[in-house]
Amino acid sequence: MKITHVVENLERGGLERVVVDLAGMQHQAGHDCKVVCLFGAGALAPELRRQGIPVHACGKSGGLDVRALLRLRSLLRTRREGVIHTHNATAHYHAALALLGLAPCRLLNTRHGMGADDRNSRRERLYRLSMPLTHGVAAVCDAARARFQAHGLHPPGGLEIVRNGIHVERFRPSSAVLRRHLVDELGFAPGTRLIGTVGRLNVVKDQANLVHALARLPADVALVLVGDGPLRDELERCAREAGVAARVRFLGDRGDVHRLLPGLDLFALPSRSEGYSIALLEAAASALPIVATDVGGNAEIVRHGAMGELVPADDTEALAGALSRVLADEASAERMRAAARDWALREASLQSMARRYMAFYESTPARGGQLDVLCG
pLDDT surpassing 60 at residue 366: no
Residues sharing a CB contact under 8 Å with residue 215, sequence separation 6 or more, in sequence order:
242, 243, 244
pLDDT of 323 strictly over 50 = yes
Q: Quote the pLDDT of residue 63.
A: 86
pLDDT on residue 154: 84
Sheet with 308-311: list strands edge to edge.
248-252, 221-226, 193-198, 266-269, 290-293, 308-311
According to the model, what pLDDT value does residue 373 have? 32
Q: How far are the Cα atoms of 10, 213, 219, 294, 295 from residue 315, in angstroms, in the given order?
A: 33, 9, 21, 11, 13
CA dist 221 and 188 (Å) reads 10
pLDDT at 369 > cutoff 70: no
Tell me the average pLDDT across 19-26. Answer: 97
The residue among 77, 32, 73, 68 whose CA lies nearest residue 51 is: 32
Candidates 3.40.50.2000, 3.30.70.100, 1.10.3470.10, 3.40.50.300; CATH matching 2-165+349-362: 3.40.50.2000
State the pLDDT at residue 79.
Answer: 82
Give the C-alpha separation, 173 to 284, whole Å.
9
pLDDT value at position 371? 35
Contact present, 341 and 166 (Cβ < 8 Å): no
Q: Do residues 195 and 323 make contact, with C-beta atoms less than 8 angstroms apart?
A: yes
pLDDT, tens digit (0-9, with 9 covering 90-100), for 51-107? 999 999 999 998 889 999 999 999 999 887 789 999 999 999 999 999 998 876 799
Q: What percent of the chain has pLDDT over 90?
A: 87
Nearest-5° Cα angle at 209, 206 to 214: 135
pLDDT in tens, 193-217: 999 999 999 999 999 999 999 999 9
Degrees, nearest 5: CA angle 60-66-14: 30
Lowest mean pLDDT across 139-153, 184-198, 305-319: 139-153
CA angle at 74 for the pair 69 and 76, rounded to the nearest 5°? 95
| Of 131, 182, 172, the residue nearest 152 (C-alpha) | 131
Q: What's 366's DSSP letter?
A: B
Please give the DSSP secondary-structure letter assigned to residue 368. T
- Contact predicate 39/58, CB 8 Å: yes
Taking only the tens place, the pLDDT of each residue in 238-294 is 999 999 999 999 999 999 999 999 999 999 999 999 999 999 999 999 999 999 999
- What's the pLDDT score for residue 268? 98
Split at pLDDT 50, 70, 90, the class of 372 is very low
State the Cα–Cα distance between residues 113 and 145, nearest whole angstrom. 10
**Residues 1-18: tens digit of each pLDDT:** 899 999 999 999 999 999
Beta-bridged to residue 304, according to DSSP, are 308
Percent of the chain with pLDDT over 70: 96
Q: Which pLDDT band, with edges at 50, 70 and 90, does 376 fall under? A: very low
* pLDDT (tens digit per residue) in 295-311: 999 999 999 999 999 99
Is a pLDDT exceeding 50 seen at residue 375? Answer: no
- Beta pairing, strands 83-87 & 55-57: unpaired
Q: Please say whether the beta carbons of 42 and 10 come within 8 A.
A: yes
pTM (whole model) above 0.85: yes
CB crowding 147-157: b at 16 or more within 10 Å, else e? bbeeeebebeb
Check residue 104 and give its pLDDT. 66
As separate numbers, helices (DSSP H) first and strands (DSSP E) second, the chain gives 14, 13
What does the pLDDT read at residue 80? 72
Binned at pLDDT 50, 70 and 90, residue 327 comes out as very high
Bridge partner list, 159: 137
Q: What is the pLDDT of residue 116?
A: 80
Domain ranges of the chain: 2-165+349-362, 168-347
Please check whether the two domains, 2-165+349-362 and 168-347, share a CATH topology. Answer: yes
CATH class of 168-347: alpha beta
